[in-house]
Amino acid sequence: MNTMNTTRRDFFVSYNQADKDWAEWIARQLEDAGYSSFFQPWDFHAGGNFVLDMHRAAADARQTIAVLSKDYLAAPFPQAEWAAAFAQDPTGADRVLVPVRVGDCQPEGQLRAITYIDLLGLDEATARKTLLTRISGKRLKPSRSPGFPGSGAAAPSASPQPGFPGQPQALGELRAALRAGQAVPEFDETTLQQILRHSPRTLEEYRLARIAEWSQPRYALDKRFTRLTLLVDQGPDAQGARWQAQQNTFDDLRKVLSEAQEPALVLLGPPGCGKSTLLRRLELDLAIDALRSAAEPEQARLSFFVPLNRYRPTRPGETLPAPGDWLAQEWSRRYPQLSALGELLPSGRVVLLLDAVNELPHADEADYRERIAWWRDFLGQLPAGTRTLFSCRSLDYSAPLSTPEAAVTHVRIEQLGDPQVEEFLTLYDGERGAALWQQLRGTPQLDLFRSPFYLRLLLSQAGEDGAALSGKAALFTGFVRQALRREIDADNPLFRPGLLLGKHDHARIIRHEWRNAIDLPSCAPLLPALCQLAFALQARRAPGEASRLRVPRDDALELLGDQQGEELLHAGVALQVLEVQWDDVFYVHQLLQEYFAARALAAKPQAALAEAASGAGSQRLAPRADIADARRSAGRPRRCRPAARGTDHRLGGDFRARRRHGASARGLH
């Protein structure tokens, strides 16, 4: 008995699962217009044979609609479906195969000869009219006479409307809120991911997506606790200090760009001070300014945020591209439907936001200097009006960008002073904040918490009575404990006993039973895998290649564990420890990566491992000392799974510190 009604119908809708929303929209438009169709989610039932159902649907449909996208063209099953329709009507006389393009793709081979219906970039009303008109096979002569060609340009088409697969509805809501002068709406995770997966077709859509992404709470920036100072380069032969601090301070990078006349700037500050957050905030502010401005959007500044730790060959073994070519590739890979970066740069309104110049992959100090020289030369090739803003952790890395012929002003992020620390603590937690300040004021420990990042961690981990935690390792451990308990309370299946957490560890998390300030579950796979991945990011390298702060997804799965890699990756994301972006996996903050790497070193402190990770510098792996001391005081070490071996050639601290600590583990204590 057939599980599917195979009465002859007008259309069989062939699609890839990635384009299901498009396929359903097309099927619905056809049936609402009086046609009949075979559509898998509507017509294939439980107990049926999927392959036979597909065969019957294709055979009993007068025409096959192929929903074209890159995913469709790359998948094996859709190829068989459109090929079967093509074989029935190779000349196209009966229009048995009707391709409908919904994604940025170009059919090849025999499929290229078939004329497709193009819905790419259309609003919903236009897409519906185009689909039904073209599918009917009628002559397309317009009912109205065309306007005289010399009378002026045609009116622009209407903006895309909400509820259409071509654009997430939330983008329309965000646009309306911004134009009404309202605050940016809050989006749940599902809606946000829909926005971020959408490929923008206009610069307006691009800016809306940047606003949606960078307005998340995790990227929040309180300008009351932002103080920026310009450091002007006096030249390498200056009589006094080369970098002269100016008297004025700023709380907004837009004001800095307005004040400083140099085309290129470097935002300077240690880990945890908020460099990346400031760059993202600048992109957010510029996008909002452009959408709310009365001027033409084409005349507004257009920013492009790029992490420089992605600067590597397109494929392993290939030559590293020139900086300009690499940026163009990154832009076109992320935004294939927008104009090429090379077409946008001549306008002189592009702002390049290049995050973490100190994280440029490199093999050694000489290799780093060479790559910095490439970027310095690139700055000299940019069109007039283009602004470039790097971020960097210390002058040792960024100073070579500046020359007497083309000075690069640095912008230093100032540490919070005592009044600002006190204000922050009491403002964000009126009860515990005051108690914390009384404990910290006048103590050496206060210097650990002179940035909003560490102050937020401190507030989240302090006891009910305002008791402060001692050391950064305890802060990060408390963060991980809170995240574990949150996922257990939410009944996330990944955190149930047996898969990634043992029963005993699961019970310890619930009862909040710990040996010391840095104790975490380490017998089941979850925490050891996170330690192993972090260490690999610090130490793993190929010959002639520096360690990278992010790795391709497949590599990350292998490092996490072949058997449970996917589950471990999803768990890391749920804990807000790992992030997946553009098919790369990385820790949400460099300091978290260093914390987990330090745990791996403390659990297995052989000299070879210490030497391998010592390139991170004593300042960057400081939590290891806290971890090792706490474990010794507990009387019994907690061991992580053995970490990957290797040698880290990423520069850490400064070049002198690297040479000082590169041969032993003493710089880690």
- Number of Cβ within 10 Å of residue 656's Cβ equals 9
Per DSSP (E only), the strands in 202-310 are 228-233, 243-250, 264-268, 302-307
Q: Where are the alpha helices (DSSP H) in 345-471?
A: 365-381, 395-398, 418-428, 430-440, 452-461
Helix (H) or strand (E) holding 568: helix 565-574
Quickly state the pLDDT bin for 639 (edges 50, 70, 90): very low
pLDDT reported for residue 466 = 55
Helix (H) or strand (E) holding 503: helix 503-511
Q: Residue 404: pLDDT above 90? A: no
pLDDT reported for residue 163 = 40
Domain with CATH 3.40.50.300 in the chain: 223-312+322-413
Nearest to 223 by CA among 180, 285, 270: 285
In CATH, the architecture of 9-136 is: 3-Layer(aba) Sandwich (3.40)
Nearest to 666 by CA among 595, 596, 599, 617: 617
Whether the CB-CB separation of 658 and 358 falls below 8 Å is answered with no
Q: Residue 510: pLDDT above 80? A: yes
Nearest to 414 by CA among 570, 266, 274, 565: 274
Region 418-440: mean pLDDT is: 90
Quote the radius of gyration of the chain (alpha carbons, Å).
29
Per DSSP (E only), the strands in 23-150 are 37-38, 61-68, 97-101, 117-118
**Is CATH 3.30.560.10 what the domain over 223-312+322-413 is classified as, yes or no?**
no
Q: What is the pLDDT of residues 655-668, one digit of tens each?
A: 333 333 333 222 22
DSSP labels, 436-457: HHHHHTTSGGGGGG-SHHHHHH
Region 315-325: mean pLDDT is: 88
Which residue in the block uniquely carries the two structure tokens 């090849």? 108
What type of residue is 58?
A
- Number of Cβ within 10 Å of residue 654's Cβ equals 16
Quickly state the pLDDT bin for 562 (edges 50, 70, 90): low
Mean pLDDT of the chain: 80
Domain with CATH 3.40.50.10140 in the chain: 9-136
Specify the range with the lowest mean pLDDT, choosing from 183-192, 583-592, 626-635.
626-635
Distance CA 491, CA 536 (A): 30
Nearest to 199 by CA among 236, 167, 170: 167
Q: Residue 471: pLDDT above 50? A: yes
Quickly state the pLDDT bin for 545 (edges 50, 70, 90): very low
Distance CA 630, CA 518 (A): 7
Q: Is the pTM of this model over 0.75?
A: no
pLDDT reported for residue 153 = 39
Q: Residue 415: pLDDT above 60? A: yes
Q: What is the pLDDT of residues 221-259, one digit of tens each?
A: 898 999 999 998 888 877 778 888 888 899 999 999 999
